[in-house]
Structure 1
Amino acid sequence: MKVLLTGSDGFIGSHLAEKLVREGHEVTALCIYNSFNSYGWIDQIQSDIRSQINLVLGDIRDASQVRSLVKGKDCVLNLAALIAIPYSYVAPDSYVQTNIQGTLNLLNAAREWDIQKFVHTSTSEVYGTAKFVPIDESHPLQGQSPYSASKIAADQLVYSYFSSFDLPAMILRPFNTFGPRQSARAVIPTIISQLSAGKTEISLGSLTPTRDFTYVSDTVSGFIAAMNSKGTDGEVINLGTGYEISIEETLKTIARLMDVEVELVSDPVRMRPENSEVERLLSDNSKAARMLSWSPQMSGQEGLEQGLKKTIDWFSEASNLRMYNVDNYVV
């Protein structure tokens, strides 16, 4: 297929770009414009794969550019978004412009050019603190941060274009993806990068929330399954493992796997406002199994540890760790 992949310079997007090329697809990868000639994490992909990607610098907020990029494509995979929750407290307007207006630009272009498949990336954050578990796709949506509110709005726009204009669009809702290349604003790379740099005091925010961590290769396989799926237009589908673990237990697991003793330091800067913290996330992935024939290859405590070991190995490479500033926390 001829695929436009937005957000390809990011963590999940770069892994997905690799997988698409390996499966023989023609990939146009939209990366956020910058003056450093950088394509983000795409720059770290091995050269024989990277050379097969049509790399474009730009911004989904630009409707004209989006229109030209969507033309002639079979599929749009929309992973472009502002995702840092703490920064959404600082600059909520930016989240509206990128996550909502940017998605609208893509939808309009996809409608104009008769795209065969539009796969939009949501987030488990739209559910807020679980009202029941496991969380299925019928769970109420709760915008507990400007980030999650912007993603709820984007999701609803995607659904509206399906219901109003018969756009062949669907929504994937990953739960807490982790793995190599993830930003240190997320908890697992925050822990691993600090430990890999030799620190024994680890700065974290709240320890009690639970998360359903999904290794990046499983999330990527979910996107591939969605892109190739039939009968999924208008659907919302969770991608998660169905296993939850607290932030504190995640820290202890990583410390054990790395064979280090750690002392926890509570950092108020890393705390969310009280009513904004999402206390519990645990997915029901039965719909993905039923409609996408998808299930995580790394699940349960054993699967989590398998993914953590891969992530630890990646951060243990000096050239990778060098790209992280473990002394500063940036929202």
Structure 2
Amino acid sequence: MNENLTVLVTGADGFIGSHLTEALVRRGYKVRAFVCYNSFNSWGWLDHCADDVKGKFEVVAGDIRDPHGVRAAMQGCDAVFHLAALIAIPFSYHSPDTYVDTNIKGTLNILQAAREIGVSKVVHTSTSEVYGTAQFVPINESHPLQGQSPYSASKIGADQIAYSFFTSFNLPVVTVRPFNTYGPRQSARAVIPTIITQIANGATKIDLGSTSPTRDFSYVDDTVGGFISAMESDNGIGEAVNLGTNFEISIRDTAALIAKQMGVEIQIESTIERSRPEKSEVERLWADNSKAKELFGWSPTLGGIEGLSQGLEKTITWFRDPGNLFLYKADKYNI
């Protein structure tokens, strides 16, 4: 795919979206970053982007739920990375209606505009949460979908809408399904930043939810590489493709690894407030990433326990910077 293309990145102000925006600029793409409109004129994490990409991308503020604004933002773009979504699982218990509007209707708005404008590729973002608790491992793309939370259900709906636009209108859409991405800038709603920020602020008693579930953690640079590989490949149209490391580790063992790297001994306290409802907890996630390698030539650079340790070291270093740590409210539970 021509790297001089103009690409739209929705959710560019978020964790993965900001890293993706930076990576695309560095690869020579003309990037239009779609950020959530707000009265503070904040571009989210793009306000903190790397010096070598500052001023080298266009920013458009809007709301993914507004079809007219989405269409206007997409005008003149050749391809789209659609990352904008509500992702916090606890908040989806509190406000499920907003997840339907943002994740399903927002995706529909992207697909409708892409179809009308005639873009060459839509890379749609799914999540490993659509699989629910693993019925077999490693989880491949044929695994049943289980909406164990309103968030998961909304993403299943978005994925199916995307697939329907491929089958009904031949829209060139590929769905990438990241497992648990971590790294600098991640929200404190996620478990790894929750652990790191509590320790970095001096805590030795760490408040978490359930610690027995396992996850397949991918460093953000690897996830971004998967997105770009999906865009640049001619393969995968109409398909869903996992992005993961093919390695699982429990939350408890992850916390112990982080504590060891940060040089402290911790005591974990599992609180009801931070725990999912019993039937909603996803107990096991472990990615089969062979399809991504076969179709896109993608595989993670930081895999296994060694790769996780390297990625955590980079993440801890970033969070320990006082200027970064200041941005987080480690003493509050973020739903």
| TM-score band, normalised by shorter chain | over 0.9
Give the structure-1-normalised TM-score: 0.99
Is it true that 1:296 corresponds to 2:309 in the alignment? no
> Which has the higher mean CA deviation after the structures are superposed, 264-273 or 166-175?
264-273
1:213 corresponds in structure 2 to 217
Is it true that 1:72 corresponds to 2:58 in the alignment? no
Q: Which amino acid aligns with 1:185?
A: R
Aligned length: 331
Structure 2: runs of 5+ lacking an equivalent? none
Query: Where do 1:164-313 residues align within 5 Å?
Result: 164-313=168-317
1:322 corresponds in structure 2 to 326
2:29 corresponds in structure 1 to 25
Q: Distance in 2 between matches of 1:327 and 1:103?
A: 34
Q: Distance in 1 between matches of 2:208 and 2:129?
A: 19
Q: Deviations over 1:249-277 (max 9, x none)?
A: 00100011111011112221100000000
**Which portions of structure 1, spanning 4 or more consecutive aligned residues, are displaced by more than 6 angstroms?**
none
Q: Deviations over 1:245-304 (max 9, x none)?
A: 000000100011111011112221100000000000000000000000000000000000
Query: Where do 1:65-214 residues align within 5 Å?
Result: 65-214=69-218
Give the structure-2-normalised TM-score: 0.98
Deviation at 1:97, TM superposition (A): 0.2
Q: Deviations over 1:66-118 (max 9, x none)?
A: 11111211101000000000000000000000000000001000000111000
Identity %: 61
Q: Distance in 1 between matches of 2:116 and 2:77?
A: 12
Q: Which amino acid aligns with 2:103?
A: N
RMSD: 0.6
Is it true that 1:7 corresponds to 2:14 in the alignment? no
Deviation at 1:32, TM superposition (A): 0.7
Deviation at 1:48, TM superposition (A): 4.1
Q: Deviations over 1:6-58 (max 9, x none)?
A: 00000000000000000010001011111111100001113441201101111
Deviation at 1:137, TM superposition (A): 0.2
Q: Out of 42, 49, 58, which is 1:45 matched to?
A: 49
Name the SS of the counterpart of 1:50 in structure 2.
coil
Q: Distance in 2 between matches of 1:46 and 1:161?
A: 36
Name the SS of the counterpart of 2:7 in structure 1.
strand
Q: Is the 8 A contact 2:22 2:50 kept in 1?
A: no
Structure 1: runs of 5+ lacking an equivalent? none
